[in-house]
Amino acid sequence: MSIFMKILLSFIQLFWVLVVAPLLAGVIQKTKALLQGRIGPRLFQPYYDLAKFFRKSAVFSEHTSWLTRLTPYIVITTTIVASMFIPFLKDGFFFTGDIILFIYLLGMGRFFSALAALDTGSSFGGMGASREMSLNTVIEPAFVLAIIAIIIQTGTTSFSQVLTILSSSEMYVSLPYILSLLAMFLVILGETGRIPVDNVDTHLELTMIHEGMLLECSGRYYSLMSYHSMIKQFIFIGLFVVFYLPFFQVEITSVLSGLGAIVILTVKILLVGIVVAFVEMTYAKMRLYQIPRLFVTSMTLSVLALIVHFMF
């Protein structure tokens, strides 16, 4: 494949992520509403919300500094760059170690989000930042262990090479792979702030974690932070799809076949989003001090995957 074709597919992937991420949020909201017997918001309501907030003027606390104004741009940039490392279309500019860089980019966004929440001087922002960083001490190791369970089995830290090795082996039906799948699904619930970890649809003081950090944002800054959450949710579910749902893959040889692959990926990602909505309706939100147990379970599954891999 020529360099020009790789560049073109990379830009097509970027455009696809930016456009479809709010649709995934809308599908999850609509599914939850239908399961609750409500009509719920429109499927494309996230697009209208982002546009509405982006047009509004921003209001800042007198205690804020330049950090609050700069953070939304840092967060959205790191998330978009991280999305480019996931080879949804397989071919592209990827290198050994991009999985590690992907983890660090998301960690940088989380760090600045917490700093901006503390910068406002509000109790809600400080509480949300404290809870976010506290839970991150168990969520991020669970994510890293789930990734390591895949890396050890493939022997590389490159997204593209991992997918190439997985597609040419029978690893999809192995026990370590299934254990890693379960571990990663629990991580998705935590990283995207879904029930039973968090509830993105509420602003109650006793329950909110991620949303608590956004209460001091307004106007286009709130729109950027909300968009960041949608993109992050999309890339985590997309990562789950390309790693663990390899069915109906399309060999990409041209722009047309790339568009066909995007359609199939979109359907699979939206279906996983519907499954996430079912999980949210099945379980109640866990108490804050019980949430680490969920990710200890995820880490245990990843460790079991490693043990099984080395023993058998």
pLDDT digits (tens, 9 = 90+) for 15-35: 999 999 999 999 999 999 998
Q: Are the C-beta atoms of residues 142 and 183 closer than 8 Å to each other? A: yes
pLDDT of residue 100: 86
User: Which pLDDT score is estimated for 235?
Assistant: 93
Q: What is the pLDDT of residues 32-83, one digit of tens each?
A: 999 888 888 899 999 999 999 999 988 887 778 888 889 999 999 999 999 9
Please tell me the predicted confidence (pLDDT) of residue 30.
93
Q: Residue 50: what pLDDT?
A: 94
Residue 95 has pLDDT above 70, yes or no: no
Q: Is the pLDDT of residue 194 over 60?
A: yes
The three-state secondary structure class of 2 is coil
Cα separation, 129 vs 122, in Å, equals: 11
* Mean per-residue pLDDT, 257-281: 90
Min mean pLDDT across 11-20, 49-58, 85-94, 295-304 is at 85-94
pLDDT tens-digit series, residues 280-298: 888 877 787 888 888 899 9
Averaged pLDDT for residues 116-141:
82
Is the pLDDT confidence value at 115 over 60? yes
CB 181 within 8 A of CB 173: no
Share in percent of the chain as helix, strand, coil (round to 5): 75, 0, 25
Q: What is the DSSP string of 96-150?
A: TTHHHHHHHHHHHHHHHHHHHHHHT--HHHHHHHHHHHHHHHHHHHHHHHHHHHH
Chain CA centroid to CA 241, Å? 12
What is the structure's pLDDT at 60?
82
**Cis status of the peptide bond prior to 196, with omega within 30 of 0:** yes
Determine the Cα–Cα distance for residues 149 and 181; give it in Å rounded to an integer. Answer: 10
